[in-house]
Amino acid sequence: MKILANDGIAASGITALEKAGYEVNTTHVAQEQLINYINDHNIVALLVRSATKVRKDLIDACPDLKLIGRGGVGMDNIDVAYAKEKGLHVINTPAASSESVAELVFAHLFGGVRFVYDANRNMPLEGDSKFKQLKKSYAAGSELRGKTLGVIGFGRIGRATAKIALGIGMKVLYHDPFMDKASITLNFFNGQEVTFDFESIDKDTVLQEADFLTMHVPAQKEYVIGKREFKLMKHGAGIVNAARGGVLDEVALINALEDGKIAFAGLDVFESEPNPEIKILMHPKISLTPHIGAATLEAQDRIGTELATQIIALLA
């Protein structure tokens, strides 16, 4: 049986699938040509990440397709319910990239409190001529230790982010309407472990008390953080969105940054992705990455292995 990994798959996944007798094709096929390619090449399983869309038209037009796999967490680029109605297996890898996304959140947070994102823009341009001025302008940094991290959405990624926060001495508050209570265990190199118990609190309370806010929610019809929410947040707070474009109102964010309500933002995802707005890209108080939350070698290896395991079990 033939599998098309249209957005790629790690070597670990290819090896496992080929060992089980599957033929893995990693050719990237343009969206408008995908239906014909699947039918012409007798593809039974289509693997995607966030780029390829699997909508009703493709599902209807590819009767031999048996499985759709998403290498990652979010499934908003797949018509999941419709695919299942048509008898297709729909799988994803919710646990594989949690740590990678959490570490990227803290890359933005550490860079934010020490102005690294802006220094990296200005040092190549003026580091040789205005070194002392730049040193002075970035001298009022702050520490994360002892501060409060608010987490909106306490699934696997939210909890992985909280683990890092706890490890560096931050207080963690969270809001999740689907998870009233949660426990997090920190495992240390010498075998010791410490468990922390949490309860979800009111979203507005999280906003009011957090020094820094991070979101880990699926795609929404409405903004999770917008004008009203920014008004509730502490003056000078920081915010990171490594969840989905569209959960954060970028117009309201720009306004909050301009009036000083928000000190900095870290964005890995964007409302108009893959063409982020120029105002976002050029803003001096925004740390930017191009949707790379799960883009570590370790995470991709785990994703490949997890996809392969599920495919072999379902299509055997």
- Whether 244 sits among the annotated catalytic residues: the reply is yes
Burial per residue of 143-171, b for 16 or more beta-carbon CB atoms within 10 angstroms, e otherwise: ebeebbbbbbbbbbbbbbbbbbbbeeebe
* CA 127/CA 122 separation, integer angstroms: 7
Of 242, 197, 200, nearest in space to 217 by CA: 242
Beta bridge partners of 240: 214, 266
| Catalytic option among 244, 271, 283, 306 | 244
Tokens of 109: 């947070």
Among 23, 103, 209, 273, the active-site one is 273
Which one of 159, 291, 302, 306 is the catalytic residue?
Answer: 291
| 291 has catalytic annotation | yes
* Burial per residue of 77-98, b for 16 or more beta-carbon CB atoms within 10 angstroms, e otherwise: bbbbeebeeeebbbbbbbebbb
**Is residue 4 within a helix (H) or strand (E), and if so which, with residue range?**
strand 2-5
Contact (Cβ atoms closer than 8 angstroms) between residue 239 and residue 212: yes
Radius of gyration for the alpha carbons in the chain, expressed in angstroms and rounded: 22
143 counts as catalytic: no
Active site residues: 244, 273, 291
